Structure formats: structure tokens, C-alpha cells
Amino acid sequence: MDLLRFITAGSVDDGKSTLIGRLLYDSKNILIDQLEALERSTKNRSDGSVDLALLTDGLRAEREQGITIDVAYRYFSTPKRKFIIADAPGHVQYTRNMITGASNTNLIIILVDARQGVVEQTRRHSIIASLLKIPHVIVAINKMDLVEYSQDVFNNIAIEYSEVAKQLGLNEVIYIPISALNGDNIVDRSENITWYDGKPLLELLEEIEIDHDINLDDARFQVQFVIRPQTEELHDYRGYAGKVVSGIYRKGDKVRVLPQDIETTISKLEAGGKEVNEVFAPQSVVIQLSDDIDISRGDSIVKTDDLPNVSNELEVLLCWMDEKPLQPGNKYLLQHNSRLVKAIVRNIEYKLDVNTLQQQVPEGSVRLNEVAKATIKTASSLVYDSFARISANGSAVLIDETSNSTVAAVLINS
Amino acid sequence: MSQYHLDYLEQLESESIHIFREIAAQFERPALLFSGGKDSITLVHLAKKAFAPGKIPFPLMHIDTGHNFPEALEFRDWLVKEVNATLIVRKVEDTIKQRNLTEQKGKFASRNWLQTYTLLDAIEEFKLDCCIGGGRRDEEKARAKERIFSVRDEFGQWNPKLQRPELWNIYNGRIHKGENVRVFPISNWTELDVWNYIRKEKIDLPSIYFSHEREIIEHEGQLIAVSGFIRVDDTDVVQKKKVRYRTVGDMTCTAAVESNATTLDEVINEITSTRISERGETRIDDKVTEAAMEDRKKNGYF
């Protein structure tokens, strides 16, 4: 059984909560006491029937203060797959919320209201999906019951959206007509939508091929922690613990340690405390090398025939996530996986309008929820790839040194 | 399917090990909060794997309410020796005396709430900058919204409004003096994932997770073990039943379920077919208010 992580994106009234509630409910992942709690809180309201959206309802603090926490995680499974849903609320701070929820996902479900068609929000969600290179996109055209399950309505929206997808380079978009409220095409094929011969949503989620989402071609590894037991029997043991970012490593591989730029070979590989002959992404492993080299946290071990970039000047897209705006020229900390370096944001080339993809002349600072193309200079070299090539080695965050907050998502262009 | 493929348990394991290594690298004085329950036992197993062949580079800390199941204590001491870890025990009893705290009264007087005081004192005493907990996001809805690295202020409080964005697999554990971070390495595991992992890895558990005979009383549909920590009234009917525990907390606030399951397979079968959530079935304290966990979390609870 494997694991699929997905995010649902929709504007406030697109029925996102109902969809998630429906998936949990119909796949029998809601337990009796949770259902009772649901019925209790439904009784406290006025209309009577069980409101599936309440299953994803917020905390009391959110209700009282009128805030929404950016992302909640939901879990369910079927005999075929385990699912993790990143449930990000749909309104004001959407860019920040969606990036937080989407950064780790294989798939995005973009909800479109059948009565509205492709709207500005749809476009924005799709742009973010394309920026973050989410591998799989499902466009769920919801509330089909309110347009009499019309095939024409569905087709027109699909045609309209395919233009957006084309412009953004989103490939293999799957379209599905649903009614989350009535359960049409969620778990079972809808009897109301006889003209649709595709699979219901849950089946799509169960069957989408995700093996290729992980890059197994380019070997990248960053040291998280150096294991040195220094006991009598393990006196000289020095193991480099970390997660294989991408690719495959084998015992005997010729490797280069970066940014030191020293060549050596892999003498031993361990996973879970046991010796193995090869390791691959995204395993957490320990690498031992045949030469004694000064290596510490944040250094990279890569194969000699496939090298990443090493530089202290980066072209990046910044998604700003903090109330305090970005001041060009300010110093920040940049964390690239486990490597932490001082960084300065130098030049803001343009701001990207996430509704239209248009480049705008930057005026003043970059604010919360804005996306900007910028140049960053780091105090020491980073070992990276472009986000487009190996996303797991081309992403970073900026941290405000004075508040310790994470203030930006960084997608490295080059 | 290619041979370079991790199943869901292997993926969860890798993610958790990654988190443990970030903890060891980013914090100066972390500690693993150990309760003797299956989630914290799973944490210890993962920590062992993360740092093998070295030893776990931080102590285990037990905030001891004094209301433990004796079997859980025995197991704790065995496990500490087995993995060659350091154990710190701080007792709620002592905090109550030192701080002149008022204990709950009543039939199932619980020290659950008071644990927070002992925990915060221990954090100060050992200058801990990170406490590792076994919380899972599937447990209830406040946890569903908490980060894996959850920053707490000097009062141990969680502030849902001030959570840091947690992007990709990048964890920002930087804090100011006096703050600390609660880290939950098995955030993305469900109850069933934990059980399946325990089976797969053949992890030892305290005996009370399996069917055994015990004297119990029934209270509002829940089975509570007879012990010196609860008040048995004349109206209570003490019965002997075959039970097991689905969670292991204090004897005052953990309920048993009737069961004949004596092996992991049998336990997992029962859990798979149960239609009641773990907290709903076995935690007396969570039924009080819908927002019980949210409140406790904000007050510095694990």
C-alpha cells in the first residue's frame, strides 16, 4: 500500500469542505463518536440535517476570533492507498495557505463551481499549482446537480480550463463532474451523470500512478547529522545521516562532497541500522565514506557523473509569507534542507501577479501573499538544482533572524 | 511497481527519522516525553533507528502522575535498559507539594491537568529547548492543525495564530531564549499506522495492551479498572472482565475495552473493525468539552 498526499483548492463556496467530508464519510473513515459529535453540533444549529462541512470545521479559537489556521491535515485510507489531505481554507491569505499546504503534495484537486465556470480563483490556484510543480491535477467540476447534470456545461468548462492549463504547462489534467453534496461520482459512479464514462473521484485518487513523482535519476544527498558513537567498539565510526533527496546510491559509488569539492567513494550504506547495498529517495539513511574528510551538517554528497550547481548567487522566486514586508537589502537566514546560511535579498526584478501571471514593475516592498522574482546572495555556497529539475533540492525558506519566523518560500530558478 | 519504492509505513518511518535527526541537530537540550504508551514506545524505536549505531542523543523524560499502571512502569524501566537511554522522572506528586496545588476531587480525580505544571518546571530545570511528543494529527481537531515543529512561549502555550509555515521537509526550530519547541515526529501517522508499524517491526509493548482479566467498574458505558486511585462507591458493581487497553494513560482517566485479543494480529483486527475513535473510546477526559484538547494545548499541555 502506498501513500498519496493531496490538497483541495477551491473558493469559499465551491464546496471544498463538503467534498472532504464526503470523502471521509463515504469511504467509512468517520467513526461513530465523531459522527455523534457532528450530529450534536448540527442540532445546535438550525437546519437539521448532518452538515458534512462541519467535519472539517475549525477550532473554537478560530470561530471566536474569526481566523482560520492555514492548513489542517485529514487522514483516510482505503484498502489500496493511504491518503493525507492538506485542507487549506479558501479566502484572504490564500497564496500563503495554499503554498504551505501544497508544498508536500502529489496531487491537487481544483474545485470549480459548475454554475460559475473558471473564475479568477481557479486561475490563481492553477498558477500556484504550476509554480510548485504539483505533479497531478484533477479539476473537479462540482455542483453538477445545480446545472441539471448537463454535459454541455461540463464540456464548456473543461474546454475553458484546458486553455489555462496549456498556458501554465499543466499536463495530463483530469476532469470529473461531481456533486459533493449528493455524492455523485465521489465514491461510486453517479447514476445522474450517465454520459460520463470516467472513474469516480476516489477511484482516480486510488489509481493515479505516483511512482514517478520521485526523481530516481539524479543522486542528491545532504548531511543532516553526523553519527559518531565514540565507543570502544565503534571508535572510528563516522556516519553521515540524512535523507536521500533524489536518486539512488550504491556501495562503491564514486562521490563528490560539496561544497568542499573532494572526491571519495561510498564504503558502507545503512538504513534503519542495517547494512544495505543501495539506498534511494526518500529513504533516511547513513552513508560512510572511505576517506576521512571534514564534513558537517548541510554538506552534500553527490555522484561524480551528475553534479548540481554550486553558487552563492541565486535567481529565485520568493513567495512572501509574513506580515512584515520584505525590505530589499535586508539580511535573512536561508535554510535549504538542513543547510543554514546568511542571505541578503538584493534585487527584486519583478512581482508576479498570481491572478494573471503578468510581471509587474516592483514598487516598494514585497508584501504578504506576493510573489516576486529576486536575486539572493548567500554568505557561503549552496549546493542546489533548479526547482524545475529537482524540486526537493531547489527549495528553501527564508527566516527572519530577529523574529525567527519563516517569512518566505524560495523556489530556486538558477 | 519498481524495486525503488517505499510503502506507506516505510515512507512514514523515513519522515519520522528525518524529523528526529533535525531535532538532534537543531536543539541543544531536547528530551523525549515518555508516557509508557504505544505512541511514545514507537517514538523510542524510531529514535533508536535514527541514530544507530550510536545511542539516542537525548534523555527520555517521564512526567509521572503517580497514577500509572504498574505494568507500564515496569515496561518503562525495561525499555530504558534495553535501548541504553537516560531516563528522567519528575513526579506530579512533588509539584503538588512544592507548589501547594489543589488536586481534583471526585470519583476519578485525575492529575492529567496538573501534569502541565510538572512539565513546565522540568523544562525550566533542565533548560530544555525541545520536547518530543507522540501526538498524532488524527487524534482530534486541535492537533490536526498543529505543526510538526510547534513553537511554545515561556508559558508553554500554543498560539494557533502564530504558527510558522512548514514547507517541504524544511523545519525551522529557531527560538528565543525561554521559548521551546514541541516536536511531533509521528504527526502524520494514524492509530492504525502505529499498530501496523508495531507489528511490522515487532516492537514490544506493555502487557496491558493485550487481553487480560481485570476487576473493573462500569461508568457511563466505560470500563474503569479498580485501583487505589479511583473511588469505588457502594452503588458500583465490581466485575471481573477480559479487557485490554487501547491507549495507556493514567489509571484514573483511561478506560479499557472488552477483548479477547491476545496477539497483535487480533488487536489490529479488532481496531480495524471498531467504529469508535481512540480518544472517544478510552479517554475519559476528552468527553468533557468539545474543545478540551484545544484548551489544554493552549495551557502548555503536550
For A110-131, how does the pLDDT look when each residue is reduced to its tens digit (9 = 90+)? 999 999 999 888 888 898 899 9
- With CA atoms as reference, report the closest residue to B115 among B39, B183, B33: B33
Is B280 found in the same domain as B159?
A: no
Whether residue B259 is found in the same domain as residue B138: no
- Greatest mean pLDDT among A61-75, A234-248, B57-71 lies in A234-248
Question: Which stretch of DSSP H or E encloses residue A317?
Answer: strand A309-320
* B79 and B124, same domain (yes or no): yes
User: Is there a cis peptide before residue A282, judged by omega within 30 degrees of 0?
Assistant: yes
| pLDDT for the residue B197 | 97
Of A281-295, A388-402, B135-149, B202-216, the poorest mean pLDDT is in: B135-149
The three-class DSSP label of residue A348 is strand
Nearest to B276 among A33, A228, A338 (CB): A33
> Smallest Cα–Cα separation from A397: which of A84, A108, A135, A100?
A100
Are residue A231 and residue A352 in the same domain, yes or no? no
State mean pLDDT over B150-159.
Answer: 84
Q: What is the pLDDT of residue A362?
A: 81
Q: Give the pLDDT confidence score for residue B289 in this predicted structure.
A: 45
CA–CA min distance B71, chain A (Å): 29
Q: State the Cα–Cα distance between residues B266 and B260, nearest whole angstrom.
A: 8
Q: Please report the pLDDT score of residue B296 as a whole number.
A: 57
Enumerate the residues of chain A whose CB falls inside 8 A of the CB of residue B145: 58-59, 69, 71-73
Residue B253: closest CA among B211, B213, B212, B296: B296
Q: Select the residue of B11, B25, B192 nearest A282 (Cβ to Cβ).
A: B11
Q: What is the DSSP letter of B145?
A: G
Residue A82: its chain B contacts at CB < 8 A?
A: 8, 190, 193
Whether A92 shows a pLDDT value over 90: the answer reads no
Q: What is the mean pLDDT of residues A331-349?
A: 95
A270 near A286, Cβ under 8 Å?
A: yes
List chain A residues with CB under 8 Å of B10: 283
- Report, as an integer, the average pLDDT of A275-286: 97
- Tell me what pLDDT residue A358 has: 87
- The per-residue pLDDT of chain A, averaged, comes to 89
pLDDT for B128 equals 94
Report the alpha-carbon distance of residue A251 to residue A244 in Å, rounded. Answer: 14
Which residue's entry shows cell 525567527? A404
Q: Do B53 and A104 touch (CB under 8 A)?
A: no
Looking at the domain assignment, is residue B199 inside a domain? no
Chain A residues with CB under 8 Å of B151 CB are 404
- Asked whether residue B103 is domain-assigned, the answer is yes
Preceding omega of A200 cis (within 30 degrees of 0): no
Distance of residue B8 Cα from the nearest chain A Cα, in angstroms: 5
A58 phi and psi, to 5 degrees?
-85, -170
The rounded percent of chain A whose pLDDT value lies above 70 is 88
Are both A26 and A64 inside the same structural domain?
Answer: yes
The x, y and z cell numbers of residue A143, run together, are 455542483
Looking at residue A187, which CATH number applies to its domain? 3.40.50.300
pLDDT tens across B78-110, in order?
Answer: 999 999 999 999 988 888 888 888 877 777 777
Instruction: Say yes or no: B245 and B178 in one domain.
Output: no
Q: Select from B21, B145, B274 the Cβ nearest to the Cβ of A224.
A: B21
> Within this chain, do residues B13 and B101 fall inside the same structural domain, yes or no?
yes
Please say whether the dihedral angle defined by the alpha carbons of residues A58, A139, A137 and A5, taken in this order, is positive or negative.
positive
Supply the DSSP string of A93-150, one letter for each residue: THHHHHHHHHTT-SEEEEEEETTT-S-HHHHHHHHHHHHTT-SEEEEEEE-GGGGTT-
Give the integer Cα–Cα distance in Å for A161 and A6.
20
Option in A84, A100, A395 nearest B166 (CB):
A100
Whether B200 maps to a domain, the answer reads no
Count of domains forming chain B: 2
Q: Which residue of B has its CA nearest to A81?
A: B8
Same domain for A199 and A116:
yes
Helix (H) or strand (E) holding A412: strand A406-412
Helix (H, G, I), strand (E, B) or coil at B163: coil
* Residues of chain B found within 8 Å of residue A273, distances taken between Cβ atoms: 48-49, 52-53
Q: What is the pLDDT of residue B257?
A: 87
- Give mean pLDDT, residues A71-87: 90
- Residues 6 or more apart whose Cβ sits within 8 Å of residue B264: B195, B198, B199
Query: Do B13 and B137 share a structural domain?
Result: yes
Instruction: Give the nearest partner residue to A33 out of B6, B25, B277, using CB atoms.
Output: B277
Residue A23 has pLDDT above 90, yes or no: no
Query: Which of A1, A96, A237 is the closest to B53 by Cβ?
Result: A237
Look at A32 and B141 and tell me if their CB atoms are within 8 Å. no
**For an interface test with A, which of B11, B145, B273, B297 has the most A Cβ atoms less than 10 Å from its Cβ?**
B145
Task: Respond yes or no on whether ipTM tops 0.90.
Answer: yes
Domain that holds residue A315: 309-412
Same domain, B21 and B116: yes
Domain span at residue B158? 8-193+291-298
Last residue in a domain, options A251, A269, A303: A303
Residue where the block lists cell 491476545: B262
DSSP A393: G
CATH code for position A328: 2.40.30.10
| Same structural domain, B15 and B41 | yes
pLDDT of residue B80: 95
- Which residue, B19, B37, B46, is CA-closest to B200? B46
CA A54 to the chain's CA centroid: 25
Cα separation values, B212 from B41, B130, B138, B209, Å: 21, 37, 28, 9
Which residue in this structure is represented by grid cell 479511583? B230
Q: Do B137 and A392 touch (CB under 8 A)?
A: no
Q: Cβ neighbours of residue A126 under 8 Å, at least 6 residues apart?
A: A110, A137, A161, A164, A165, A168, A170
Task: Answer whether A75 sits within 8 Å of B190, measured CB to CB.
Answer: yes
User: Would the pLDDT of B265 be above 70?
Assistant: yes
In a domain, B236, yes or no: yes
pLDDT band at B287 (very low <50, low <70, confident <90, very high): very low
CA distance A146 to chain B (A): 32
Instruction: Give the chain B residue whose CA is nearest to the CA of A232.
Output: B54
Backbone angles phi, psi at B256, to 5 degrees: -95, 165
**Orientation of helix B38-51 relative to helix B191-201, angle to 10°:** 50
Quote the distance between the C-alpha of residue A282 and its chain's center.
15
B11 contacts A395? CB cut-off 8 A = no
Cα B34 to its chain centre, rounded Å, is 7
User: Rounded mean pLDDT of B272-294?
Assistant: 58
Residues of B in contact with A402 (CB under 8 A): none
Closest residue in chain B to residue A281, using alpha carbons only? B4
Q: Out of A303, A336, A362, pick the residue that ends a domain.
A: A303
Work out the angle between the directed axes of helices B191-201 and B8-26 (0-180°, nearest 10).
90
For residue A307, pLDDT over 90 is answered with yes
Q: Is A358 exposed, middle or buried (0-12, 13-18, 19+ CB in 10 A)?
A: exposed
CA distance B43 to B26: 18
Contact criterion met (CB below 8 Å) for A264 and A257:
yes
> What nine digits make up the cell of A222?
545532504
What local confidence, expressed as pLDDT, does residue A207 receive? 95
> Which position has the grid cell 519522515?
B15
Contacts of A73 in chain B (CB under 8 A): 137, 144-145, 187-188
Nearest Cα neighbor of B164 from B177, B175, B151 is B151
Distance between CA atoms of residues A319 and A132, nearest Å? 11
B12, containing H or E segment? helix B8-26
Helix (H, G, I), strand (E, B) or coil at B183: strand
- Closest partner residue to B170 among A297, A321, A397, by Cβ? A397
Count how many domains chain A has.
Answer: 3
Three-class secondary structure of residue B281 per DSSP = helix
**Average of per-residue pLDDT values in chain B:** 86
| Length of chain A, in residues | 414
pLDDT > 70: what percent of chain B?
90
Q: Cβ contacts (< 8 Å) between A103 and chain B: which residues?
A: 167-168
User: Taking residues A87-112, what's their average pLDDT?
Assistant: 83
Q: State residue B295's pLDDT score.
A: 60
pLDDT single digits (tens) A186-224: 988 999 999 999 999 999 999 999 988 899 999 999 999
Half-sphere exposure of A118 (CA within 13 A, CB side): 20
